[in-house]
Amino acid sequence: MKKSKQLPNYQDVTKFHGHECPGTAIGYRAGEIAVKELSTGRAVDEEFLAIVENDSCSLDAIQVVTGCTMGKGNLIFKDHGKQVYTFMNRKTGGAIRISLKIDLGTINPQFSEARLKASSNTADELDKKEFEKQKDILNKKVLEMPAEKLFKIEKVKLETPEKASIYPSVKCAECGELVSEHRARVKEGQIVCIPCFEE
């Protein structure tokens, strides 16, 4: 019998991330779409690639669901401050771009109001409770709403980026610590690491 890959669930994401929040709910949905659209049914691993355009809570969900991680080199971070996630299966060449098209205040209008109240100087316990409640409602909605209402999803063509490379290390002339060659700098004719270069 063919064993299909079990997708991690939202609880797995929460366990990794530490709390439930709209960010991980968005990341969970994006990752789930990516795996469904691009997976060839085998364990998703290094052949998967994610390009993320923000460094919010959603990233943790992406890492758990797709297996793309910074350490493996198949998670590329672009500091654009955008809720856009692009995924590619390097084996098949298939790629999709997923961008959030609805803002959280539209999904749950009471959320923005509750957040404003809870973060004000005069916020009391009740305000904080209300914020938690509205956040939970928002979360649930993000997790359950139809994907095409939440995201714009489009097939894209991507160049296959090089696999994670391993660079040789060199010794910093100032602190003596090892530094990956492609990150080393030259200062007054000596090879140094970035912190020593910037000193």
**Contact residues for Zn ion, defined by CB under 5 A:** 21, 23, 57, 172, 174-175, 193, 196
Q: Which is nearer to Zn ion, 95 or 114 (CB)?
A: 114
Closest to Zn ion by CB, 21 vs 96, is: 21
Helix/strand/coil for 168: coil
Q: Are 22 and 138 in contact (CB under 8 A)?
A: yes
Supply the minimum distance, in Å, between the C-beta of residue 100 and Zn ion: 15
The pair of three-digit structure tokens given for residue 81, joined into one six-digit string: 């401050």
Contacts of 146 (CB under 8 A, 6+ apart): none
Name which of 20 and 130 has its Cβ closer to Zn ion: 20
> Cβ 198 to Zn ion, closest distance in Å?
10
CB of 146 to Zn ion, least distance (A): 23
Nearest approach in angstroms of CB 188 to Zn ion is: 13
Please report, as a single letter, which amino acid is at residue 108.
N
Specify the residue, 156 or 175, whose C-beta has the smaller distance to Zn ion: 175
CB of 126 to Zn ion, least distance (A): 23
Running DSSP on this structure, what letter comes out for residue 73?
T
**Pairing status of strand 169-171 against strand 178-180:** antiparallel
Please say whether the beta carbons of 66 and 39 come within 8 A.
no
Tell me if 143 sits within 8 A of 33, measured CB to CB: no
How far is 175 from 3, CA to CA, in rounded Å? 52
